[in-house]
Each structure stands twice: as structure tokens, then as C-alpha cells.
Homo-oligomer: A and B are copies of this chain.
Amino acid sequence: MTARTTAAHGEPGKQDAARAKQAVLIALDWGTTSLRAYLFDAAGEVLDTRISTAGIMNLPVPAEEGGFDAAFDEACGVWLAQAGVLPVLAAGMVGSAQGWVQAPYVETPAGEDALVAGIVKVRAASGVEMAVVPGVLEPGALPNVMRGEETQIFGALGAQGGADAAPVSQPAAQVGTQTATQTATQAATQPALIGLPGTHAKWVMVEGARIARFYTFMTGEVYAVLTAHTILGRTMKRPVAPDTAAFVRGVTVAREHGCAGVLATAFSTRTLGLTDQLAADEQPDYLSGLLIGHELAGLEAVLARRDVELAACAPRLIGADALCERYRLALAQFGCGGAQIVHRATERGLWRIAVRAGLVVASDRTDQTV
């Protein structure tokens, strides 16, 4: 396996060195299958971004042969050569037992200060020191864990729109300025619900600016294996374009007829096909809607146990745009029309934690907005 790094942001050439001279921080989102590196200036603006496939399970050379050093040098060596010594912060699976250094989980309820207190440092072969953000653990009969999402969550909390969001560029238009004041006020007083769709989707309740509790749904991974490795995939055809109607139908079936559980309803993908009620190219989106519908029905049930009504929530969504749009559509079927998609939560969160940890001094002190 070889890692591939691409410069995703900024213009090439002579401007690179000039930009690097303004840099005050390197921050990494280092997961299982990818490494995203951001170069920040003192106002919290992203100067440059580099994206690599060198996730912790895909290092350019094995970990015991210096794989982490090699991946880090490949992603950030140019910046360090141009800018000299910079503080480095990293979040994600790089802090797991399989990572570069283990940053033990912080338990819920977990605020930013607890994350900062849990930071563990590792020194690269080059002498550069990297601060690694811990993950969060919710203990209990069904424990839950996150690594990386905690940083995105604090990024989303900082992205309340308006002037608060100034430290990372272009925030206002992407966060929904029309309700910015309202949501900023709500966030200070009421529990906030944050959804992170994906392979292992997470739903997080934030209370008093602390991660209070959260749930993990294996929706993305289960969808992948059902389509790739079970009888359901055999009759499916990929549609030319995403089929929104089939998706919504799946969500509705889960919501209205999901009482037997997803182990039962999933089979309808096949039987509706067998009975000519669901075309082959409708089946992938139908199944996707079905699984996301069961996820939201489960979320609705666990929220109801705490007297929280999903339909009354205005969740913030963090993730790939197209997937977040699907969730927004699915949430609407559950009567929850106020979902907002938050952009660049990762960069925001890394910057906030770096400031809180004293790795950098923000020029305008906008890190104190939450």
C-alpha cells in the first residue's frame, strides 16, 4: 500500500513560501484511511490543505519502520521546511491504540477543557512535537467511543454563524445566517443535537458545551456489506442518478412499518423486487432510505426516553454534503425540518482546541465564542 498526497487548497508556486511564513499552526485530522493536514495563520484562516491516503491503517511503510514519521513528513514536510518550527495538533485514530501514540479516552460529560487536559504528546524523528487530542468514551451497558468527531463537534458549536464564526473563512453563508442569532442563543441554554452521518454514524447530545451522551449507528458500513455481500445486492442495479423517491420510500417504510426491525424490513428490498413493485435501479436508494430510517427511528426512541422530541430538534449535521442532504430529507420525514449542515467543522474544531491548549494565540480572540 502506498500513500498519495495531494495539495487540495491554495495556488502552487512562489506564493507557497510567502503563505508558509504567515503560518502559526499545523493541524491534522488523521483517521483510519486518510490524513488531512491544514496550515493555519494567526487569524485561524486555513492557508493551505494537503490530503493524503496515509491513514493509520494505510501508512507508506509499516508503523514499526517509521510509518507515522514518513506519512507526517510526506504531508507536512514542505510546510515545515518553509515555515520553520510550528506547533502541531492532531485528532482522530492517530491517538488510538493502533495510532502513533495512545491518548486515552476522556469520559462523558466531556468539554473542551477535558479534551485539552487529555492531550498526549509524541515527538517525531525530526524533533517536531505533535499534540494528540483524546477521544471520548461514554461508559455504560452499551459503551460508546469516538475519535475525531469530538473535535468536529466543538468546531460545529463554534460555527453559530455571524461574527462568531469569523476565524475560519466563509462561514456565515454556509451555516445559515438567517437563524444565526437564534441558534447561538439556543446553544447556550438548551441541549444541542449533532449528527455525523457516515460509516459509523454518530448522534451526539451536547449540554452546557459538553458532550453529554452519544450513539453510534453502523448504518454506512451495514449498507455497504448488505449491497456487496448479501442476496439483496444480487438484484440491484446502480441508478444513473440518486433516486430520491426510492430513498424517501425506504425512510417511510422504516418509520411506518419498521416495528419488526431492520433484520426483517431489509428483506423487502428483495420481495418488492420479486413482486415487480421496486425496480432493480430503485433498490440501492430504497435500502439506503430504509437503513437511515431505522437509524432515525432508533434515535427518536432513545431521545423520547429522555423526554426529547426529535421533531422539535434542530440538529446540526457534519459530513459529506450529499450524505447530509439525504439525512436532512430523512429527518423531514420524521417531522424534523430544521436540520442545518455545518461546513468545515474539522478545521474549526482543530483551531479552537489549539487555541484552548495554548498552542497558538489567536490574533482576535474569537476562540472564546462558546
Which of B215, B222, B225, B291 makes the CB contact (< 8 A) with A260?
Answer: B215
Main SS of chain A's interface residues? helix
Residues of B within 8 A of A297 (CB): 261
Residues of chain B with a CB closer than 8 A to A145's CB: 271, 274
- When A260-B215, A264-B217, A295-B261 are in contact, do A228 and B230 touch as well, CB less than 8 Å? no
A120–B231 CA distance with the chains assembled, in angstroms:
26
CA distance in complex: A196, B200 (Å): 31
The answer to whether the Cβ of A299 comes within 8 Å of any Cβ in the partner chain is yes
Which residues of chain A (67-108) have a CB below 8 Å from chain B? none
- A323 CA / B264 CA spacing, docked (Å): 19
Contact of A230 among B137, B225, B271, B291 (CB under 8 A): B225
Which of A231, A271, A305 has the largest number of chain B CB atoms within 10 A? A271
Contacts of A231 in B (CB 8 A): 200, 221
A268 to B: closest C-beta gap in Å: 4
Contact B261 A144 (CB under 8 A): no
Given contacts A222-B226, A260-B301, A263-B294, 8 further A-B contacts (CB under 8 A): A142-B271, A144-B271, A216-B264, A217-B261, A222-B222, A260-B298, A261-B295, A263-B291
Binding site for B on A (CB under 8 A): 137, 139, 141-145, 200, 215-219, 221-222, 225-226, 228-231, 253, 256-257, 259-268, 271-272, 274-275, 277, 291, 294-295, 297-299, 301-302, 305
